Amino acid sequence: MPEFPPADRLIDGDRYRSREFLELERERLWPRVWQVACREEEIPTVGDYVEYTILEESVLIVRTSDKSIKGYFNACQHRGTQLKQGCGTMKSIQCPYHFWTWNLDGTIKSVTESSDFCTQHVDPEALSLAEVRVDSWGGFVFINMDPEARPLRDFLGSAADVLDEYRLDEHRFSRYRTTIIEANWKATFDAFNEIYHTQAIHPQTLRFTDFTTWRHELHGPHGVNIPNRGAAMRPDPRVGELDRSEVLAALMESMADVDLLTGADADTLTEALQEVVTMPEDAPLGPFLAGVRRKLAAKAGLDLSQFTDDEVLIGSIWSLFPNFSLAVNGSNAFIFRFRPNGEDPNSCVTDVWSLDWAPSEASAREVKREYYPDWREHDWDKLITQDLVNLPNVQAGIRSRGFRHAICGYKETTVANFHRALDDFLGISGRP
């Protein structure tokens, strides 16, 4: 069990609701931390760009060559106009206000009617676009606005070493959704950073997963919730004894909603379930299904031999500081990215990404970016809907004068670790 002083298991309530804490994050967190801006596959061709926003800052991520990606503050060096919005492709970067133009590498290309200006004010050496630091890991493009920040790989540390086994750089988007949730970004991140809430919010999952035996590991500011051996396809003891047919029925009912799996992966697991009829009476359900899934994955060119049965069937749930939740198994990844929603500490922007492991696909897929300003406008799967319904209620309680602090138990170790890391990053003591 990770060691925490009792005080580190208490989290002050104001950080979830106060504008003062939002301002502290604006000044000390987001300009100084490595954060995921996009994936490399979103900008596969020279000239492709993606706009990344965090609070009022907008950054353009630009593919400048086959092997180079740069990030620029989205501000014209003439009068400050934003240069681009959204995503697209371009041959150069042109301001829409006065047509000042930059090369993809950020150097100035042309100043409209440059003879109108003092020579020293339009010196090409002084007009390059302001850059942010950019680095990649696992196919994800990270940015950091702090030129003195430590290297990305050092920041990710041992978390990256473990996650490298999943070959996330060989994954491809199967779905990309964004919505607004009526809860603080940290309260929302907390909900996807622990498995303690499953018995209350996701009771159906206890019929085929034993959550009581999961372990919780820390990797610096990052953390992971991992099923212990045999947790998959074994009912949680809190639901009592279930026979194999009941476990299977619960699993098949859950499979009717496939948002937590990509389409191809869901098809594979469905096919695996169909093979259960050939299973010997005395065979454990988990290892049998994992074996079938490995066999079917091999037909698609995926080698799952390095993963345990539990990793193949249900995977592990990672939290990468400061705002990235990553559920991975042997053949897909399901990701949440949480950001503040402007000046409102009581809501957040949430990106929901589904990725397939597709090593044979050299090029990016065409993926539609879906945006739902109200999450109720979209038909989410049951598991996600349960969280979306719960989170506004969480935030409503947090806003009460009667809520002083959150209390973290063992199953919320990764939550406590995140907030301890946040306090360290902000240079504060946030304990009640």
DSSP output for 229-261? TT-BTS--GGG----HHHHHHHHHHHHT--TTS
Could you give phi then psi for residue 53, rounded to 5 degrees? -120, 140
For residue 142 the two structure tokens come to 């990270």
Rg (CA), the chain: 23
Q: How far apart are CA 311 and CA 215, in angstroms?
A: 13
The Cα-based distances of 420 to 5, 186, 225, 326, 368 in angstroms read 11, 13, 17, 20, 37
Q: What is the reported pTM?
A: 0.92
User: All domains of the chain, ordered by start, with CATH?
Assistant: 35-148 (2.102.10.10), 158-426 (3.90.380)
**pLDDT exceeds cutoff 70 at 316:** yes
101-102 sheet: strands from edge to edge: 93-94, 101-102, 108-110
Residue linked to tokens 């995977």 = 315
pLDDT at position 267: 62
How confident is the model over 357-411, as pLDDT tens digits?
887 766 677 889 999 999 999 989 889 999 999 999 999 999 999 999 999 999 9
Task: Give the chain's mean pLDDT.
Answer: 90
Q: How many helices (H) and strands (E) does the chain have?
A: 11, 20
Residue 261 has pLDDT above 60, yes or no: no
Helix extents (H) in 231-349 = 244-255, 263-274, 285-299, 309-313
- Smallest CA-to-CA distance from 406 within 17, 16, 12, 15 is with 12
* 208-258 confidence digits (pLDDT tens): 888 888 899 999 999 999 988 766 778 788 888 887 778 777 777 776 665
Quick: pLDDT tens for 338-353.
999 999 999 999 999 9
- The whole-number pLDDT of residue 128 equals 98
| Residue with more model confidence, 87 or 205 | 87
How far is the CA of 37 from the CAs of 47, 136, 151, 281, 422, in angstroms? 17, 10, 16, 49, 19
With beta carbons less than 8 A apart as the criterion, state whether 84 and 93 touch.
yes
| Percent over 90 (pLDDT), the chain | 68
Mean pLDDT of 314-334: 92
Structure tokens that stand for 68 in this block: 């180079």
End-to-end CA distance of the chain: 23
What's the CA gap between 323 and 29, in Å, rounded? 11
Average pLDDT of the residues in 51-77: 98
| Confidence check: pLDDT of 172 > 70 | yes
